[in-house]
Structure 1
Amino acid sequence: MDITYHAIGLICSPFKDLEAMPIQPASKASAPGRVEIFPEFVDGLKDLDGFSHIILLYHMHAIREQALTVTPFLDSSPRGLFATRAPTRPNPIGLSIVKLIRVDGGVLYVDELDILDGTPLLDLKPYVPEFDHRPDARIGWLEKARGEVKGKTSDDRFR
């Protein structure tokens, strides 16, 4: 089965290289940027300005390799890819929840980015705590790394 997606915009961030990027939006206090929506999709932004956070779904265009076993940034043990947030996926689709600062026409000003500059945006959705938050969620092997994400940046392991 072939599946084809088309970008609806581009993500503009301060991160020009895969190394030294935050590994998750929560790992850096502030990383401002923009999401530039292509003109044919701007009408879809109506009413988005009432939300404080949005979910960005994007194509991780700089990832060239796939691996089903990886050593993630917050651990030293090899793990199954689908039990991690590693980018070396069969379908390199990224997901980040970012703070929405303001909407100005077709430009979304955001903060708390962890995305490479020039990344193609596939979709975006409002973050709704009542829908998206799970207070009883278990986090498996990441439990021992709880609280370690602040200040963590990427290295060259997933080039």
Structure 2
Amino acid sequence: MTRIEFTPTGIVHSPFHDPRDMPIQPVGARGVRGTVELHPGCAPGLKDIEGFSRIILLYHFHRSEGYSLEVVPFLDARPHGVFATRAPRRPNAIGLSILRLVAVDGATLIVEDVDILDGTPVLDIKPYVPAFDAYPDERSGWLAETEKDPGSVRSDDRFC
């Protein structure tokens, strides 16, 4: 297998300093404010981003070590394949969050709905475009059977 390396483009600043007891998805972090601070040389890449209400943030789960191909996710008591979950301990520790873009200040994005650990390295930013990214009629697999509310579930130490 070919090795792939990424260079972070910035860092996330959030109120979450411990992976325990944080929201597990942006829906559970509504209104939680943070910033995405890009390296100054990346600032030109933000041109015209202020016209979007949401961004897709791709980042490295920098505190995640190892992985299992079957995990028990926060929203279920049964094991599932890691690729059928959003668990942070994955073969490639890449996270994705769709955040509300509040403002742009130079090389810094002010964002809300932050469910990301403080100090997380940013890999990429893409604009969220409802016409491209929203598929409300699609199936959601095992999540359709869960009775847990993803907005109220908090993380524990199972992926620390």
Shorter-chain TM range is over 0.9
TM-score for the superposition, normalised by structure 2: 0.96
Q: Report whether the alignment pairs 1:138 with 2:139.
A: yes
Match of 1:77 in 2: 78
Whole-angstrom CA distance in 2 between matches of 1:143 and 1:50: 33
Match of 1:56 in 2: 57
Residue segments in structure 2 that go unaligned for 5+ positions in a row: none
The runs of at least 4 aligned residues of structure 1 exceeding 6 Å deviation read none
Match of 1:10 in 2: 11
Whole-angstrom CA distance in 2 between matches of 1:5 and 1:60: 13
TM-score for the superposition, normalised by structure 1: 0.97
Whole-angstrom CA distance in 2 between matches of 1:107 and 1:89: 28
Match of 2:152 in 1: 151
Per-residue Cα deviation, 1:87-135 (whole angstroms, up to 9, x for no partner): 1100000000000000010110000011000000000000000000012
State the Cα distance separating 1:30 from its structure 2 match.
1.9
Match of 2:38 in 1: 37
State the Cα distance separating 1:29 from its structure 2 match.
2.4
Match of 2:122 in 1: 121
Equivalent residue pairs, number: 159
Residue segments in structure 1 that go unaligned for 5+ positions in a row: none
State the Cα distance separating 1:146 from its structure 2 match.
6.2
Alpha carbons of structure 1 residues 133 and 23: separation in structure 2 relative to 1, 3 Å: same
State the Cα distance separating 1:137 from its structure 2 match.
1.0
Percent identity between matched residues is 53
Whole-angstrom CA distance in 2 between matches of 1:40 and 1:146: 45
